[in-house]
Amino acid sequence: TNHTRRAPAAMATQTSEAEKEMREWCVALPKVELHAHLNGSVRNSTLLELAKELGDKGVIVFEDVKDVIMKNDRSLPECFRLFDLFHILTTDHDTVTRIAKEVVGDFAAENVLYLEIRTTPKNNEAKGMTKRSYMNAVVKGLKSVEDIDVVLNDEILSCTPMSDSGGDTKRKKIYVRLLLSIDRRETTSAALDTVNLAMEMKDQGVIGIDLSGNPVVGEWETYLPALEYAKELGIPTTIHCGEV
């Protein structure tokens, strides 16, 4: 804070010690994370690495993108421009698998015990991707976490062999559930596809749907049939609204 900067050196050190302790306490505290967007939770280092690869291929200009990724204090419109960039960087099956794996690992490292990840299933013909194959890539990522027990639907999906001595008590365990997001840019039929997919994937950790995306885009009437359909099917729903 400004206050800290103006304080004498000794006091500043004390404050930063206190801040450090508070941060450590927050990390150690067992937590529940209910609002993580998959593509909003990607490590900066991974984004930079992916941007570098696409820069080398001439798809983007790395230097421009680097500044955008590292910028802090973004406005809401800037956030949505950034998501469009993230989607260019992340949307192929292997990258989706990679980011899902890393995101779960990062939350577990911060002692999140129960994690709900929401993500927008994407059709991308150029990559041979359907909403279903996108979600399969996400689930594959969750199952490929090696050093943590990831529990989807109360079943242990990823678990390296326990030691012969009867189990390694130091292994972390995280319960992960998925919400399928409808992007406000989508059509009624695409939104209905997402609800059907959520129903199909109930036994793979999918526990609900979400309406998200740029709040200044789209019309409520477009998604209403999908939300009503979800209600009929008994699928729990979360909604982003009123942010502008």
Ligand X SMILES: CNc1ncnc2c1ncn2[C@@H]1O[C@H](COP(=O)(O)O)[C@@H](O)[C@H]1O
Please give the positions annotated as active site: 243
Q: What does the block give as tokens for 23?
A: 């941060």
Q: How far is the CB of 241 from ligand X (least distance, A)?
A: 9
Q: How far is the CB of 75 from ligand X (least distance, A)?
A: 10
Residues in the chain: 244
Rank residues 91 and 153 by Cβ distance to ligand X and give the closer one: 91
Rank residues 105 and 213 by Cβ distance to ligand X and give the closer one: 213
Rank residues 15 and 237 by Cβ distance to ligand X and give the closer one: 237
- Whole-number Å distance between alpha carbons of 215 and 195: 20
Rank residues 42 and 174 by Cβ distance to ligand X and give the closer one: 42
- Judge contact between 229 and 195, C-beta under 8 A: yes
Give the gyration radius of the chain's Cα atoms. 20
Q: Which residues contribute to the site for ligand X (CB under 6 A)? A: 37-40, 79, 83, 119-120, 181, 183, 212-213, 240, 243
| Helix spans in 58-123 (H) | 62-70, 76-90, 93-109
Rank residues 152 and 178 by Cβ distance to ligand X and give the closer one: 178
Residue 143 to residues 17, 41, 70, 174, 180, Cα–Cα distance (Å): 38, 18, 30, 12, 18
Q: How far is the CB of 65 from ligand X (least distance, A)?
A: 17
151: left (phi over 0), alpha (psi -120 to 50) or beta: beta
Q: How far is the CB of 52 from ligand X (least distance, A)?
A: 21
CB atoms within 10 A of CB 186: 22
- Judge contact between 95 and 89, C-beta under 8 A: yes
Q: How far is the CB of 85 from ligand X (least distance, A)?
A: 10
- Whole-number Å distance between alpha carbons of 227 and 241: 14
Q: What does the block give as tokens for 110?
A: 């911060």
